[in-house]
Amino acid sequence: MNQSDTIAATSDDVRIRSTTILPSPHEMKEMLPIMDMTQLRICEDRQHIRNIIRWDDSRLLVVVWPCSIHDERSAQEYADKLVSVKDQYPHLKIVMRVYFEKPRTTVGWKWLINDPYLDESCQMEEGLILARKILLDINNKRLPVAVEFLDPISPQYMGDLVAWGAVGARTTESQTHREMASGLSASIGFKNGTDGSIDVAINAMQSAQSPHNFLGIDQNGQIARIETSGNPDVHIVLRWGKNPNYDEMSVKTVAKQLEQAWLAPRVMIDASHGNSNKDHRLQWLVVQNIANQVREGSQNILGVMIESHIHEGKQSHTPGKDDPKNLKHGVSITDGCIGWEETVTLLDDLNEAAESRLAFLRHITPVIQGEKIV
């Protein structure tokens, strides 16, 4: 074979197998519209979260559910459970974690939007429809939702339904994600880097607070120049470093770094992942430590993330190899989770801790305006 025989006939899309046209964000929203009352509640939830970040609200922000969603029925059942107890916790702002997309270290299931049937069929149109439907259903239960923003196109499809968003440790350093966050309507938590770097997240926060211009799509799916005003409501999420970073000393050290960067010294703590040594059963120790810091009056802690499901543990599933029909109901297929009963116990502890913090600060602070300690 001559060398010329191996040369491609075109220089464009050499490695693209196919392209499939998907509905535009506008078409998707017409198919699955948001009600005016739901839209109003989402705006109110966003404002509550902003107030917590800014310390204008003494409540503790709690983002809870598994690392990923793979089953609509489990999502609805868990949402119903949260709705049934959330009013028992006046000192918590509970947000359901509904993650549809996540970066992979190498390869694997890319989650519900990418592969909703867990079989490598990658029916993305159906994944987008299902994701929007789930977010609508949960919001209609009067329960705010949180997502991780990974693909810079997906916010156009579901950003209107999100009260709080995350940018993960693998993407915090990405210019694309910092620019995207600068235009998102919800508050955004940036996780510290996979190597434990705090500077990466601080840089991301400073970037996201600034205006940007970048390539994106509009509601009609048209490629457009996007100009943002900057997102002032960003914060850091401590997920782990070279060592766990949920303890009092770590929190104070990060708070000082934030102050030196002219950022609010407020942090959210991820009780899972490296902070629990990747053992879901140890989350209660992390949450207990966080609750004690809050109880003792720490103003640096704004919230906590907990990986929880209906049932404890996790199960394995390999798309294209394992049959999804064999999956156990209410059990995570990614990170291990605590079960519902233990979740309620932790919510009890966090609510009591936030109540104690408010009482403590009221005792030592001469002036209080509403829920803001001044």
Per-domain residue ranges for the chain? 20-365
- Predicted local confidence at residue 101, as pLDDT: 84
Q: pLDDT category, 66, cuts 50, 70, 90?
A: confident
Q: Which residue has the higher pLDDT, 363 or 330?
A: 330
What was the pLDDT predicted at 363?
Answer: 83
pLDDT for residue 228 = 98
Q: What is the 3-state secondary structure (H, E, C) of the chain?
A: CCHHHHCCCCCCCCCCCCCCCCCCHHHHHHHCCCCHHHHHHHHHHHHHHHHHHCCCCCCEEEEECCCCCCCHHHHHHHHHHHHHHHCCCCCEEEEEECCCCCCCCCCCCCCCCCCCCCCCCCCHHHHHHHHHHHHHHHHHCCCCEEEECCCCCCHHHHHHHCCEEEECCCCCCCHHHHHHHHHCCCEEEEECCCCCCCHHHHHHHHHHCCCCEEEEECCCCCEEEEECCCCCCEEEEECCCCCCCCCHHHHHHHHHHHHHCCCCCCEEEECCHHHHCCCHHHHHHHHHHHHHHHHCCCCCEEEEEECECCCCEECCCCCCCCCHHHCCCCCECCCCEECHHHHHHHHHHHHHHHHHHHHHHHHHCCCEECCEEC
Mean pLDDT of 210-214: 98
Residue in the structure block whose two tokens are 């770590």: 250
pLDDT one-digit tens code per residue, 270-286: 999 899 989 999 999 99
What mean pLDDT is reported for the chain?
93
pLDDT band at 33 (very low <50, low <70, confident <90, very high): very high
Q: What mean pLDDT is predicted for residues 143-147?
A: 98
In angstroms, the Cα distances linking 275 to 23, 297, 351 are 40, 22, 21
CATH top-level class for 20-365? alpha beta
Of 358, 360, 334, 312, which Cα lies nearest the Cα of 108? 334
Q: What's residue 67's pLDDT? A: 82
Q: How far apart are CA 284 and CA 83, in angstroms?
A: 22
Give 176's pLDDT tier (boundaries 50, 70, 90). very high
Q: Is the pLDDT of residue 4 over 60?
A: no
Q: Are 134 and 153 in contact (CB under 8 A)?
A: no
At residue 262 the predicted structure's pLDDT band, cuts being 50, 70 and 90, is very high
Query: Which of 67-76, 245-254, 297-306, 336-345 is predicted least confidently?
Result: 67-76
Candidate from 147-161, 204-218, 342-356, 357-371 with smallest mean pLDDT:
357-371
pLDDT over threshold 60, residue 77: yes
Which of 6-10, 93-97, 182-186, 212-216 has the weakest average pLDDT? 6-10
374 confidence band (pLDDT: 50, 70, 90) = very low
